[in-house]
Each structure stands twice: as C-alpha cells, then as structure tokens.
Chain A
C-alpha cells in the first residue's frame, strides 16, 4: 500500500484492530466504496469513514464508532 492517505488510515487503525486486520479493513472497505487503497483520494474519506464506522460498532458501540469515524475523516 503506497497511497499516503491509506497508510495514514491503516496506521490510525493498527493500535485498535491490530496491524493485519487494519490493513485488510482498509483494503476491503476501499473495495466496498468502489476504489482501491492505492487510489484513495481525500474526497473518498467520508464514504470510507462511514464504512469503517459500521465495522467498529461491534467493538465499542455506535457512539464511539462515530467518534472514531470523525477522527478518520480529519486525517486528510
């Protein structure tokens, strides 16, 4: 993964989900919003953050997942 934005998101998620899962989450969720991690653009962030928010709900509940997604949106 060479895209700096994707790397930033992966680094943000790594302490929470672990390195392997953070990497696969970025890859999978990028695919789900119709792009690939290497081509991720700042304008894709809201959609990607929304997808990641849904993924995080099971660990910390909706409210904290939303907060985490907000932090991802500000990673541009």
Chain B
C-alpha cells in the first residue's frame, strides 16, 4: 500500500511537472496547447474519480461515511464530465470559449454533491462526540470566510451585476461559480479545523489532502472567474494549475483513506 501512495505521489508530481513545463515554456503550437490545456484537467479529474470510487467500494456498510464518500465521488464525477464536455466543445467542436454550455450544468450540479459529502463528514464528526474546539475558532472561520466573501463581492459580484454587456444567464453563471466556491471554502474551513484537532493521527491524513484539494480547486475557480471576467485569462494560464493540483490532492486523500480503511 505504501507503494500505491508512492505511485500516486509520483504521478501527481509528474503530471504537475509536465503541466508547469508546458505552460512555462510553451514548446508547442497554439493548437496543441489548446488540446493539452483541456487534456490535463480531464486526466487529473479522472484520477480523482477513480480513487474516490475505490474508497466508496472499500466501505462495506451503507452508513454516513459511505454516503459521504459516495457524494464526493458523484460530485467529482460531475466535474470530470464538465471538464470532458468543455474539452470536447473547445477541441473537437472547435468552439471558442464555450460559455455558457452543458459543461456548466455538470460543474454546478457537482457542487451540490460536494457540499453533501463534506457536510456528511462534518456532521459525522460532530455526532461522534469529539471535542469540537472553542467558539473563538468557529468565529475566526466565519470572519475569514466573511473577508473572502467581501473581497469577491467587491471585485466580482458588483461589477458582474452592474454590467450591461452580458446576458442574464451569463450573469447568473458568473455569480453562481464564485458563490459555489465560497460555500465550499466555508465548509472546507470547518473540516480543516476538525482535521487540525486530530493532529498527527493517521485518520487525519486523508482529510488533510481532501481539504487541501478543495481549497486549491476553489481558489483556482475564483481566480478563473475573476480573470475571465476581466478578459485577461489566456490559454495556458497558471490558474489552471490550481484546479489540476486540487484534483490530484483529492486523489491522494482518497488513496490515503483507502489505505487507512484497509489497515484496520
């Protein structure tokens, strides 16, 4: 099993290394860069989907834990379908900037399952009767999320709402994504707090990767929304790396979780 963790680490580093190398030096044509920038997220999300499914399958009884991992699996599967559909539109159908599209339907519905999965883990931790930390720590989480929310509102929500250049559907989607990410960040901060309480215990390891993965994904998403809104997002932007790294961290969390389950 240690070999499997080593393998997923190696795979993560290799994919991100190639990704960074291609984006930094751009040693390929514009067409190939377009293909690669669509293929990287499909590969990364696919790895996350497979590893999350393996965790789901390794849990025998249908309980809140299995439900949590099932929801994380479905949410990530929908994001994989979003990445694949978007890639199809851009690379095969040749559509430039396919927004809004069916891919948005997959991505946005995926959030609901991710919320469900993370909420199950939080509720399960609360029900378990562990020490939850002080109200000061929860206040800090609320304040930190509030600050991020204010920044996103000032820099993105207000300009989007005021804009008269885009359709109502585009306005809705431009606001729905960051809101989806902010809710995810709030839930992830709570899970991060619980994970910190677990210290160096082996049960905390998978959660640490999962938390890091969703933080990377959410930050990448918010930056993507901001950059595309300002129309300064370019093909082969480093912003894509956040999301790709997020998927791979989630995959590492899933591999770790399976290792923990099988070790008992």
Q: Please say whether chains A and B are actual partners in one complex.
A: yes
Is A59 touching B203 in the complex (CB atoms < 8 A)? yes
In Å, the complex CA distance between A22 and B130 comes to: 9
- Taking a contact as CB atoms under 8 Å apart, the answer to whether B65 and A22 are in contact is no
Note all chain B residues with C-beta closer than 8 A to A67: 264
A18 touching B264 by the CB < 8 A rule?
A: no
Distance between A2 CB and nearest chain B CB, rounded to angstroms: 21
Find residues 35-76 in chain A having any chain B CB closer than 8 Å to their own CB. Answer: 51, 54-64, 67-68
Q: Which of B129, B131, B260 contacts A59 (CB 8 A)?
A: B260
Given A60-B65, A63-B60, A63-B61, do A28 and B131 touch, yes or no (CB 8 Å)? yes
- Select one of A14, A28, A61 contacting B59, CB under 8 A: A61
B32 at the interface (CB under 8 A from A): no
Residue in contact with A19 in the complex, picked from B68, B199, B202, B261, CB distance below 8 Å: B199
A50 to B124, CA, bound (A): 16
Q: Pick from A14, A29, A59: contact of B65, CB below 8 A.
A: A59
Chain B residue numbers with a CB within 8 Å of A21 are 130-131, 197-199, 201
Candidates A22, A28, A29, A58; contact of B201 at CB < 8 Å: A22
Q: Specify which chain B residues have a CB less than 8 angstroms from the CB of A59 in the assembled complex.
A: 65, 203, 260
Number of interface residues of B (CB under 8 A): 27
**Which A residues lie within 8 Å of B68 (CB)?**
58
Given contacts A67-B264, A68-B264, contact A61 B65 (CB under 8 A): yes
Contacts of B59 in A (CB 8 A): 61, 63
Bound CA–CA A32/B121 (angstroms)? 22
Interface string of B239-261 (1 = CB under 8 A from A): 00000000000000000000011
Q: B61 near A61 (CB under 8 angstroms)?
A: yes
A17 is an interface residue with CB less than 8 A from chain B: yes
Closest to B121 in A: A58
A34 within 8 Å of B by Cβ? Answer: no
Q: Which residues of chain B come closer than 8 Å to A32, judged between CB atoms?
A: 129
A17, B61: Cβ atoms under 8 Å?
A: no
Given contacts A16-B202, A21-B201, A60-B264, contact A54 B128 (CB under 8 A): yes
Contact call A17/B203, Cβ cutoff below 8 A: yes
Contact B63 A62 (CB under 8 A): yes
With a cutoff of 8 Å between Cβ atoms, the chain A residues found around residue B264 in the complex are 60, 64, 67-68
Contact flag A16-B201 (CB < 8 Å), given A28-B130, A60-B261, A64-B264:
yes
Given contacts A60-B65, A60-B260, A61-B65, contact A15 B128 (CB under 8 A): no
CA distance A63 to B202 in the complex (A): 18
Kindly list chain A residues whose C-beta atoms are within 8 Å of the C-beta of B60: 61-63
B260 smallest CB distance to A (angstroms): 6
Could you say which of B63, B65, B129, B200 contacts A18, with CB atoms under 8 Å apart? Answer: B200
A15-B130 contact given A58-B121, A58-B125, A61-B60, CB 8 Å threshold: no
Interchain Cβ contacts under 8 Å between A and B, 20 examples: A15-B202, A18-B204, A19-B199, A21-B198, A21-B199, A21-B201, A24-B130, A24-B131, A25-B130, A28-B130, A57-B63, A57-B65, A58-B68, A59-B65, A59-B260, A60-B260, A61-B60, A61-B65, A62-B61, A62-B63
Q: Which residues of B contact A (CB under 8 A)?
A: 59-61, 63-66, 68, 121, 124-125, 127-131, 197-204, 260-261, 264
